Amino acid sequence: MNPQVEEQSIRKKRKMKEGEKILSVDELRVQERHWMEMWKDSKNELKQLRQDLKVEVDEEVRAELMADIEGLKKRKGDWARLLGLNETIADIPVTF
């Protein structure tokens, strides 16, 4: 029998970028709380902008509101991604 050559680890450690640090559990909890607050604030602001859009008649203002809504949807998606809320639930069976 021939000895097997030990291969390098399949998993590579991600290199830390300059200025990056590993958060402690408490620091991570504070950061996640901030992300959740920002996500909730953007959700409420989106709701308000959509209500304003329904009653607005000036086309120029409507265009600005639409641009604001699109930007806020993107930011809300960023907060959701940071919180792990974007995960697809396709694997979970649905019963009716």
Instruction: Please give the residue that has the higher pLDDT: either 62 or 15.
Output: 62
d(CA 50, CA 70): 11
Can you tell me the distance from the alpha carbon of 42 to that of 71, in angstroms, rounded to the nearest whole number?
10
Q: What pLDDT score does 94 carry?
A: 44
The pLDDT value given to residue 90: 47
Q: What share of the chain is helix, strand, coil (3-state, %, to 5)?
A: 60, 0, 40
Q: Is the pLDDT of residue 96 over 50?
A: no
Mean pLDDT of 10-29: 71
Q: For residue 4, give the 3-state DSSP assignment.
A: coil
* For residues 63-89, average pLDDT: 86
